[in-house]
Amino acid sequence: MADLETILYDKKFKCAHCDHEFTSKKVRLRRGHPIQRDPDFCVHYANQSENPLLYHVIVCPECGFSFNDNFRTFIPDPTVEQRIQEKISDNWTKKDYTGMRTVPEAIAAYKLGIFTADVRGESHCVLAGLCMRLAWMYRFLKKKVKEDHFLEVARHEYELSLEKGDYANTDMTELKILYLVGELYRHLGNPQQAVHYFSSVIHHKLKDTDPQMVRAARDQWETMREDMKREKVAREDPAG
Ligand SMILES: [Zn+2]
């Protein structure tokens, strides 16, 4: 089994706010050991410090500007830089998130990333992706109330992203977001809305472009039907 030193590597970054150049840990693809993949694409590792999800947000150690690969490279609004300076950098107490991370450290990085994305006016799709991954961090820690809170925020942001179509030029597609919103509704206990979204994936005009997502929607719909059947039997025959 490869050790963490060979699984993690230092990647170079340049801060888009203060121009500081630094390295931050990333995970070499195909070197880690995933042990579980949830229906919402959360991946678990036996050793969570080798989970690429922990290194998703990069935090500039100099100014606190925190970002991922999906942030816009060009911001037309000239007042944004000033807002970042006032709301983030002027309040930044230097802290280094560039090394190996624990789950609580990854949570701090995600919160900084969400705050920066909000100040910078990043898309609903970017915010949703960050909130979703932050929820997974709480899943790793088995903090269900916090997990569900951020899944709910992600669900709301993904629905706004569908409405605005702001997922173009990201690694998300309409089909993938429709499936995820369905899965989030299922997870959060709203089967009617879940069925609505799973159905929209299965009958989508682009369904042939992503058979994997259509299969996932069918599977989760089936899982939900079986859960509901079991609950109905339990209600009608409490003695079992
Ligand atoms: Zn910086």
**Percentage of the chain lying above the pLDDT 70 cut:** 98
Distance 34 CA to ligand 1 centre (A): 32
Q: What is the Å distance from ligand 1's center to 92 Cα?
A: 10
Assess if residue 111 is contained within a domain.
Answer: yes
Q: Are 68 and 113 in contact (CB under 8 A)?
A: yes
Which residue, among 134, 125, 4, has the nearest Cα to 57 in the 3D structure?
Answer: 134
- Is residue 240 very low, low, confident or very high in pLDDT (cuts 50, 70, 90)? low
pLDDT, tens digit (0-9, with 9 covering 90-100), for 25-65: 999 877 778 999 999 999 999 988 899 999 999 999 999 99
- Give the pLDDT band (50/70/90) at residue 2: low
Domain of residue 79 covers 4-122
C-alpha of residue 22 to centroid of ligand 1, in Å = 9
* 142 belongs to a structural domain: no
d(CA 59, ligand 1 centre) in Å: 8
pTM above 0.85, yes or no: yes
Question: Measured in angstroms, how far is the CA atom of residue 66 from the centroid of ligand 1?
Answer: 8
> How many domains does the chain divide into?
1
Predicted pLDDT at 84 = 96
Nearest CA-CA partner of 11 in 68, 64, 49, 65: 68
Q: Does 17 have pLDDT greater than 90?
A: yes
Domain assignment present for residue 53? The answer is yes
Domain-located, residue 13: yes
Ligand 1 centroid distance, CA of 19 (Å): 6
- From ligand 1's centre to the CA of 83, what distance in Å? 14
Pick from 204, 165, 164, 205: nearest CA to 182: 204
The verdict on residue 94 lying in a domain is: yes
For the segment 99-112, the average pLDDT, to the nearest whole number, is: 97
- pLDDT over threshold 60, residue 1: no
SS3 state at 14: strand
CA of 112 to the centre of ligand 1 (A): 13
Q: Which residue has the tokens 């309409």?
A: 174
In a domain, 76, yes or no: yes
Tell me the CA–centroid distance for residue 10 and ligand 1, in Å.
Answer: 17
For residue 58 the two structure tokens come to 């990069």
What gap in Å lies between CA 5 and CA 14, rounded to an integer? 23
CA of 115 to the centre of ligand 1 (A): 15
Comparing C-alpha atoms, which of 204, 149, 155 is closest to residue 177? 155
For residue 227, the model assigns a pLDDT of 87
Centre of ligand 1 from the C-alpha of residue 21, in Å: 8
207 pLDDT higher than 90: yes
- Taking only the tens place, the pLDDT of each residue in 175-201 is 999 999 999 999 999 999 999 999 999
Does residue 169 come out as left (phi exceeding 0), alpha (psi in the -120 to 50 range) or beta? left
15, part of any domain: yes
75 found inside a domain: yes
Q: How far is the CA of 8 from the centre of ligand 1 (A)?
A: 22
Residue 130 has pLDDT above 80, yes or no: yes
φ, ψ of residue 121 in degrees (nearest 5): 70, 40
Listed in order, strand segments (DSSP E) in the chain are 8-14, 21-27, 34-37, 43-45, 58-59, 66-67
pLDDT of residue 235: 86
Distance from Cα 231 to the centre of ligand 1, integer Å? 52
Distance 99 CA to ligand 1 centre (A): 16
Residue length, the chain? 240
pLDDT given at position 76: 82
